[in-house]
């Protein structure tokens, strides 16, 4: 498990990069959270998405038929058991998440700011192994106590992605119930808090509009769904929605694989919400998903994985 954490930490080094390709002129900026743990996977994944061009360690310019172009940033991977304090993590990330191209486009910096800002807030978790989720629900005092302790100890892994969209709450294949809204300091746009409506699923998400670029929506997910997406298309369900991340107990997969799975799921959900088939340029038949493992290779043709 510790090794997994280390791997995940490495992926946190991913930086939100600006692109010199003027992607901000494109109708859609899609920035998502992927932890490409190795170059093979990264290239394969992007190839899968129909990426025409990508750069090592930088944002990739996607050339998707339905989108014109979009940019994917690998960022905001948060491991679930970082022992460091949030402060320490934030400091590290602050240093590392400087735009690679300082003179990149305005939206790039704006996005990066948003990302960094989000990231700073995102990288806060504790590693309480002594968690016992025993909660007595007798007596209001006990409830309150439980609430307090629970709130303090539990912090699910979070990650964010940014989407250029006119609507704040993007359809991602799951049903959400809004449970709060707060004004954000230094921003005219409020932050909305949503919770997955599925029983016993504690996934939350925050949605806020970047004040530096009001056309960009920053969505932050916390936790992982323990159920299939109720409204996912069959292809996506076959590829992601019904895989281990949905069907297996949370502790079955390593954190690492859970993250990978979740990021894939996020991408697929996001692309789906935008009307983009995630396998648009590949002949991936559903049979290949029948025994997936929630891993990248489950949605990437095998020949891609062989490429080095």
Partner DNA sequence: CGTGTTTGACCTGCGC
Partner DNA sequence: GCGCAGGTCAAACACG
Q: Answer yes or no whether residue 184 interacts with DNA by CB under 7 A.
A: yes
Show the tokens assigned to 169.
């709450």
CA angle 8, 276, 39 (to 5 degrees): 30
Instruction: Write down the residue that tokens 């970082």 correspond to.
Output: 82
Instruction: Write down the residue that tokens 């699923």 correspond to.
Output: 201
CA angle 138, 143, 145 (to 5 degrees): 130
Chain residues 242-301 in contact with DNA, contact rule CB under 7 A: none
Q: Answer yes or no whether residue 197 interacts with DNA by CB under 7 A.
A: yes
User: Least Å distance between CB 204 and DNA?
Assistant: 6
Q: Answer yes or no whether residue 151 interacts with DNA by CB under 7 A.
A: yes
Applying CB under 7 A, which of residues 88, 178, 285, 307 lies at the interface with DNA? 178
Q: Answer yes or no whether residue 179 interacts with DNA by CB under 7 A.
A: yes
Applying CB under 7 A, which of residues 13, 47, 57, 175 lies at the interface with DNA? 175
- The answer to whether 59 and 16 are in contact (CB under 8 A) is yes
CA 207 to chain centre: 13
Number of residues that bind DNA (CB under 7 A): 27
**CA-based torsion, 189, 89, 13, 127: positive or negative:** negative
Chain residues 203-222 in contact with DNA, contact rule CB under 7 A: 204, 206
Q: Answer yes or no whether residue 200 interacts with DNA by CB under 7 A.
A: no
Applying CB under 7 A, which of residues 10, 96, 147, 234 lies at the interface with DNA? 147
- The answer to whether 270 and 32 are in contact (CB under 8 A) is yes
Tell me, residue by residue from 56 to 95, as one string, x for binding to DNA by CB under 7 A and - for no binding.
-----------------------------xxx--------
Q: Are strands 176-183 and 158-164 parallel, antiparallel or unpaired?
A: unpaired
Residue 53 or 131 having the CB closest to DNA? 131
Q: Answer yes or no whether residue 152 interacts with DNA by CB under 7 A.
A: yes
Applying CB under 7 A, which of residues 182, 214, 286, 307 lies at the interface with DNA? 182
Residue 67 or 207 having the CB closest to DNA? 207
User: Least Å distance between CB 121 and DNA?
Assistant: 5
Instruction: Write down the residue that tokens 């806020």 correspond to.
Output: 208
**Helices of type H across the chain:** 2-12, 39-48, 86-96, 106-122, 140-153, 234-236, 244-247, 255-273, 302-306
List residues binding DNA (CB under 7 A): 85-87, 121, 147-148, 151-152, 169, 175-185, 191-194, 197, 204, 206
């Amino acid at each position: 498990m510790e090794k997994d954490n280390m791997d995940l930490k490495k992926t946190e080094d991913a930086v939100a990069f600006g692109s010199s390709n003027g992607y901000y002129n494109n109708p859609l900026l899609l920035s998502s959270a992927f932890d490409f743990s190795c170059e093979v996977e990264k290239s394969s994944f992007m190839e899968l998405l129909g990426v025409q061009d990508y750069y090592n360690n930088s944002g990739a310019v996607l050339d998707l038929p339905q989108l014109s172009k979009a940019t994917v940033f690998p960022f905001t991977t948060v491991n679930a058991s970082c022992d460091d304090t949030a402060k320490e993590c934030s400091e590290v990330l602050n240093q590392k998440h400087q735009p690679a191209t300082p003179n990149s486009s305005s939206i790039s910096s704006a996005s990066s700011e948003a990302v960094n800002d989000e990231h700073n807030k995102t990288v806060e978790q504790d590693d309480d192994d002594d968690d016992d989720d025993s909660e007595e629900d007798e007596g209001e005092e006990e409830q309150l106590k439980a609430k307090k302790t629970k709130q303090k100890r539990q912090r699910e892994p979070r990650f964010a992605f940014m989407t250029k969209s006119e609507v704040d709450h993007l359809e991602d294949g799951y049903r959400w119930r809004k449970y709060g809204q707060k004004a954000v300091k230094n921003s005219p746009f409020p932050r909305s808090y949503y919770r997955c409506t599925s029983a016993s699923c504690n996934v939350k998400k925050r949605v806020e509009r970047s004040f530096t670029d009001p056309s960009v929506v920053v969505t932050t997910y916390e936790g992982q769904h323990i159920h299939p997406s109720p409204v996912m298309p069959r292809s996506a369900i076959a590829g992601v929605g019904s895989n281990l991340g949905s069907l297996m107990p949370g502790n079955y997969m390593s954190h690492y694989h859970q993250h990978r799975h979740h990021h894939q799921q996020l991408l697929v959900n996001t692309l789906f919400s935008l009307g983009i088939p995630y396998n648009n340029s590949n002949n991936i038949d559903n049979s290949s998903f029948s025994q997936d493992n929630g891993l990248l290779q489950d949605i990437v043709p095998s020949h891609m994985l062989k490429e080095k």
